[in-house]
Structure 1
Amino acid sequence: MTQDADTATGPTEWGARPEVGVGPWQGPWPDDPRYDPELLEHGDRRNVVDAYRYWRREAIVADMDKRRYPFHVAIENFQHDHNIGTVVRTANAFAAAAVHIVGKRRWNRRGAMVTDRYQHLYHHPTVAELAEFAEARGLAIVAVDNTPGAEPIETVELPRECVLLFGQEGPGLSAEAQQAASRVVSIAQFGTTRSINAGVAAGIVMHTWIRLHADLSAAW
């Protein structure tokens, strides 16, 4: 990994402020291939947990692959939804197996705050192709939308191996997405609007999965 890939001279979650992270390595350098010589020399200003300080990006991804949980996150992107970056960042925080972008390939990465560099990302032009991916891996598709007949997320038990599928801000899930799902769940709301922000909804549902299935002793 070169210095401008993910260090203070390039984009970071905190705007490349020098007080973030750690400076150059003090003392003899570790004899470990996971460490990046440029980070050891110049410092590590990335927003990563302390356990990954000075590690190469590839080494972080490989280590995370041992920790990832068997739930996937998918979001439709037919109108260049600006919430996708937030969804990716949250999926990374909860160690999702992968994030799937359905529809348009391009999306605004600003909200991901660089976490997409450590997260497996897939693109599917259509919902049908996402469904094929899920079926081949035995993943149940759970759609999230406040449509009639949806089950309250507060009272259901999400499957351990699944794809949590989210729609876009405003229109919600497409008809194709709802048809591809084995179940549709909704989030209880008590205010005046008919929906909540898609990024917020994704965080609520992912954390519901975490409360049901995650090993909390493994949290950083």
Structure 2
Amino acid sequence: MEILSAQNPRVKEWAGLLEKKNRDKQGKYLIEGLHLVQEALEAQADVECVCYDTLGGIPAELQAAASAGLDVDWIGVSAAVIAKCSDTKSPQPVFAVVRKDRGRVAPLLDRERSLVVVLDGVQDPGNVGTIIRSADAVGADGVIVGAGCADIYGPKVLRATMGSLFHLPVVHSDLAEVLPQAKQRGIRLAGTSLQAAANCFAYDFTQPVWLLFGSEGSGLSPEVRGLMDDGLLIPMRGRAESLNVAMAASVLLYEAMRQRHFS
């Protein structure tokens, strides 16, 4: 199948997915570039269609997936169509439309010794994507995204995850509802704090713990801070005032992995 006109109704629908309101309305999102498309197909994400530059044909790396009989439309498109559906200045010759995964929080609550990252108003897309990538790297059980965060299906977040979005559960939830449930299950809620009692390297990350991270400017919201059990301090020997939220998340996640798997 080929679609060459950028004015085609289907192309307009795809291009609309570059905006959050249309992603929300359609329950779909766009991923750009060979790496993300490969990751989505390998993870058996709910891919609706893969569009490739008709001049170059289906990229060699995707040939096996194209002939695997998956329920995916493979559509040859023109450079004009690719440009219209891209968020970048020099688009790659392949993109895909994926249906959103309506993940559930319940399995994360039920997980034994669960290690989960909770985002509360983290607004920078690069930070949100990097935190998801770090959570994936250490084998965390999932990421819960609360209100006020950058859209996990936005192009910048997706690029920053480098495909990690497809490797672990990333679910939206009302934190005021889910965090008290976690506490009832004996899960500790820990977050960085300048008035912290515990040095993060002395903290017990082998227990079930959910790590809370707030907005770049003002930290955790008062409601979420009120639910936090343990404030953790990341010690610094140099003169930097602080770490950005993605760096702080990575430090704590790697310390959790060290204690759980390398001690």
Q: What TM-score do you get using the length of structure 1 for normalisation?
A: 0.63
Partner of 2:212: 165
- Give the secondary structure class of the aligned counterpart of 1:200: helix
- Give the secondary structure class of the aligned counterpart of 1:209: helix
**1:208: how far off?**
0.7
On the 8 A contact 2:119/2:214 being kept in 1, the answer is yes
Partner of 2:146: 102
Which residues of 2 match residues 1-220 of structure 1 at below 5 A? 8=34, 11=37, 24=64, 70-77=114-121, 79=123, 82-104=126-148, 106-107=151-152, 108=154, 109-110=157-158, 111-125=160-174, 127-145=175-193, 147-214=194-261
**1:142: how far off?**
1.0
The CA distance in 2 between the partners of 1:96 and 1:190, in whole Å, is 28
**1:104: how far off?**
2.9
CA deviation digits over 1:106-145, x for unaligned, max 9? 24423111211121122123x3223134135432111123
| Alpha-carbon distance change, 123 to 137 in structure 1, aligned in 2, over 3 angstroms | farther
- Give the secondary structure class of the aligned counterpart of 1:194: coil
Q: State the structure with more CA Rg.
A: 2
Identity of aligned residues (%): 22
- Give the secondary structure class of the aligned counterpart of 2:142: strand
The CA distance in 1 between the partners of 2:262 and 2:69, in whole Å, is 33
**1:209: how far off?**
0.7
Structure 1, unaligned stretches of length 5 or more?
Answer: 26-35, 39-64
| Alpha-carbon distance change, 150 to 167 in structure 1, aligned in 2, over 3 angstroms | farther
CA deviation digits over 1:167-196, x for unaligned, max 9? 222322223222211111010123334320
On the 8 A contact 1:101/1:124 being kept in 2, the answer is yes
| Alpha-carbon distance change, 10 to 178 in structure 1, aligned in 2, over 3 angstroms | closer
May I ask how many residue pairs the two structures share in their alignment?
174
The CA distance in 2 between the partners of 1:150 and 1:122, in whole Å, is 30
**1:214: how far off?**
2.5
- Give the secondary structure class of the aligned counterpart of 1:155: coil
- Give the secondary structure class of the aligned counterpart of 2:34: coil
Partner of 1:46: none
On the 8 A contact 1:141/1:165 being kept in 2, the answer is yes
- Give the secondary structure class of the aligned counterpart of 1:141: strand
Q: AA paired with 2:167?
A: Y
| Alpha-carbon distance change, 140 to 10 in structure 1, aligned in 2, over 3 angstroms | closer
The CA distance in 2 between the partners of 1:120 and 1:133, in whole Å, is 18
- Give the secondary structure class of the aligned counterpart of 2:141: strand
The CA distance in 1 between the partners of 2:259 and 2:36, in whole Å, is 38
| Alpha-carbon distance change, 69 to 142 in structure 1, aligned in 2, over 3 angstroms | same
**1:78: how far off?**
5.7
Q: How large is the RMSD of aligned CA atoms in angstroms?
A: 3.8
Query: Which structure features the higher share of strand residues?
Result: 2
- Give the secondary structure class of the aligned counterpart of 2:115: strand
| Alpha-carbon distance change, 10 to 148 in structure 1, aligned in 2, over 3 angstroms | closer
